[in-house]
Structure 1
């Protein structure tokens, strides 16, 4: 291999469009962050690609986990490896490639500041993507233990948030065992209340609330497939957490801080 060093990281995705779409949702919230590549091991450790990052204003926390089983190959010589990514630029790169085309990404020992991105087709798109250095940050872990978990209808939740967002971006959301209520106060209009059915996934009686910027929630719930049920986690004075699947890739949890705790 004259002039080339051995690859120490290599992943390939069957259709890049699935990755492009989720990066498009992430970069307006998290402009820069680490992608952590986790090597699968013999102890049933799934391995994959992890992003755990807070927005610059510390109001949104993104926890994305892409499972190694969706990549072929998925090769990482270290147990864990992290690379600094500018996600807006990464989206620009991925968006140059047609959604249904496979993409191979790899790194070499002699160029650890570069992620090589190659479309797998007759006339491949070839990009040598520059990685960035990021100051180390203490990223809090997202603990969901003991939190109130609800199943909701994605379409109805999105519809109500969208309607009320046209009046005010601040919406008080209250959840009980079977109902989620949305309240908006407007100087021009007055007080508006809408509600929807939900399913509480616990056994005790609950009543939790918080005021949230629904414009930020809408940016992520739009990604969830229509007609799908999804899960929301709420507790008084805690962030609202949206849980959903990333088609053909893995899962994501996005946490939104209440407005009064900012």
Structure 2
């Protein structure tokens, strides 16, 4: 038997919203320590890694490890039926072809149950190297969302350059240019408003803004976002899920010929 419950459906809504525009279907791994999912978008330019430990659930039980093929669009439609404060539960019996989704109201005597068909998804789980990156930058997530939105008005490509002096975002197109520079800053009263830069060497990457903008759909999940940069390596955009896990987006840099188009 597998059963996982969250006190507020809004938590799971935000997670699914942060994934569904990149990943249509994926295998979710369920084990005794929690849930995880790793999948690439259809263009194989970005990869999403989601991890939720059992601490993120008000109740968690997994008697036997399993893999569930989930359609995230279908799951999003089910969660749209939930009030934010509804309890949300996933249940699955081993070898069942469906997973049960329960919504329980806290203000009324109401329980809604949905059966979602599981999918057979043949996908290779890629090994993600545990690498120390040259640059690590922590930015308020709302600020990063605003930067991506502003830059996308000028180009579909952004140049991100990080050094000890700061991090610079640049975009150029027919409408002009936009350069945004963030330096190290600290906010004593609100640590989540601080910009923290740890740079061992200067790194510059050209990246697709459409993907970065999609990544920022995880903004409601975390007050800050961490960017990991390394020369000729995918950018990692990491959002913490409070103290129970994270969503990491990996984005391959654009090669020079692509960036010039």
TM-score range for the pair, normalised by the shorter chain length: 0.7 to 0.9
Shift of 1:71: 1.6
Matched with 2:98 is: 114
Matches within 5 A, 1:1-262: 8-39=1-32, 47-78=33-64, 80-109=65-94, 112-121=96-105, 122-186=109-173, 188-198=174-184, 199-201=196-198, 204=200, 206-225=201-220, 228-247=223-242, 250-260=245-255
Checking the alignment, whether the CA contact within 8 Å between 1:155 and 1:227 is kept in structure 2 is: no
**1:23-82 deviations in Å (ceiling 9; x for gaps):** 01211101110111120xxxxxxx11101111121111111111102223211112x311
Unmatched runs of 5 consecutive residues or more in structure 1: 1-7, 40-46
Matched with 1:5 is: none
- CA gap of 1:197–1:83, structure 2 versus 1, over 3 A, is same
Shift of 1:117: 1.1
Q: For residues 163 and 173 of structure 1, what CA distance do their matches in structure 2 show?
A: 14
Q: For residues 181 and 146 of structure 1, what CA distance do their matches in structure 2 show?
A: 17
Q: For residues 147 and 140 of structure 1, what CA distance do their matches in structure 2 show?
A: 20
RMSD (CA atoms): 2.3
Q: For residues 179 and 236 of structure 1, what CA distance do their matches in structure 2 show?
A: 17
Query: What TM-score, normalized by structure 2, do the two folds share?
Result: 0.84
Q: For residues 133 and 148 of structure 2, what CA distance do their matches in structure 1 show?
A: 26
- CA gap of 1:229–1:136, structure 2 versus 1, over 3 A, is closer
Q: For residues 219 and 243 of structure 1, what CA distance do their matches in structure 2 show?
A: 13
Unmatched runs of 5 consecutive residues or more in structure 2: 185-195
- CA gap of 1:147–1:61, structure 2 versus 1, over 3 A, is farther
Shift of 1:153: 3.5
Shift of 1:222: 4.2
Matched with 2:191 is: none
Shift of 1:127: 0.4
Checking the alignment, whether the CA contact within 8 Å between 1:54 and 1:139 is kept in structure 2 is: no
The count of aligned residue pairs is 243
Find runs of 4+ consecutive structure 1 residues off by over 6 angstroms.
none
Shift of 1:154: 3.1
Checking the alignment, whether the CA contact within 8 Å between 1:174 and 1:210 is kept in structure 2 is: yes
Query: What TM-score, normalized by structure 1, do the two folds share?
Result: 0.84
Matched with 2:190 is: none
- CA gap of 1:166–1:71, structure 2 versus 1, over 3 A, is same
Q: For residues 31 and 223 of structure 2, what CA distance do their matches in structure 1 show?
A: 30
